Amino acid sequence: MDLNAWVAARGGIVHRSDILDRGMSAPALRRAIVDGAVRRVRRYWVAVPDAPPQLVAAAEATARLACVSAARHHGWWMPPEVDDRLHLHVRPHAEGAREAGVVRHWTVPIGALHSRLLVESVEDTLQHLADCQPRETALVLWEDAARSENLPADVLRRVAWRSPRARELASVLTGLMDSGLETVFVDRLRRWDVTVWVQVGLAGHDVDAVIDGWLVVQLDGFRYHSSSAERTRDLAHDRELVARGYTVLRFSYSEVVYGWDRVEHAIARALAQRRRA
């Protein structure tokens, strides 16, 4: 058994019992540790030398990755303004120092979870995001989790959430958003007297949002760096939409996130002109 490769294929760190269950003897495991093929983390965990540092930190703290740290581990889209502190989920009354740069969530897990896992459940991650992060940031991550983990919104609404914020996020979750920027945009329009559709196919291509059936909004995301050919295609599509009677507005990530008042003004002017007509 190539222990280093086996552990690496399972995330870089595994519980000692999993190795013994695989058939390796305790003396053979001790020799592998002495030889440097793997290293011991506290008493019960075994890691390859280049194991993910946050998983190692969770094992060292007898905890699990939580909140934004768990979201990053799952690969959910992370707003750039979220800090990179380590978030850990520990049981209430568990012992442990409060280190600088580490956020501990002292909560009872929402659901049962295998004791050998170093990352909390998706439901616990969503609960911690709701209670720890600004509402808009949490909603962005909830929407991306629903899409990435293939979790229907109605399923998440049946979870026994433990805070008003989590229940409110579950109530507005759509599971349809294609990006964090779309989530922010649609959520900020919720209190307007308008109807918003997202990812609508028009003139051969999807558009990001359509307001009241005629105002098309295209959102150029944080990593928007289209090629000349893509930009030319986008402009041609915008012209085709205008020719078909739509009004088209295009906004950047910075405008939506940091200059919302200008976005609101542009949308309000467009709506006023059509409604007056």
Sequence-ordered list of residues with C-beta below 8 angstroms from that of 158, at least 6 positions apart, any chain: none
pLDDT computed for residue 86 by the predictor = 96
pLDDT at 97 over 60: no
User: Between β-strands 205-211 and 215-220, what pairing exists: parallel, antiparallel or unpaired?
Assistant: antiparallel
Residue 219, SS3 per DSSP: strand
CA distance 112 to 156: 16
Mean of pLDDT values over 10-17: 94
Q: Which pLDDT score, from 0 to 100, does residue 96 have?
A: 59
CB 179 within 8 A of CB 221: yes
| pLDDT score of 45 | 95
Q: Give tens-digit pLDDT for 228-260.
A: 777 888 889 999 999 999 999 999 999 999 999
Reported as a single tens digit per residue, the pLDDT across 139-194 is 999 999 999 999 999 999 999 999 999 999 999 999 988 889 999 999 999 889 99
Residue 99: per-residue pLDDT: 74
Mean pLDDT across the stretch 102-116? Answer: 88
Q: Identify the CATH homologous superfamily for domain 180-276.
A: VSR Endonuclease (3.40.960.10)
| Lookup: tokens for 83 | 């800090």
All CATH 3.40.960.10 domain ranges in the chain, comma separated: 180-276
- Position 78 pLDDT exceeds 60: yes
pLDDT band, very low/low/confident/very high, at 95 (cuts 50, 70, 90): low
Q: Which residue has the higher pLDDT, 277 or 200?
A: 200
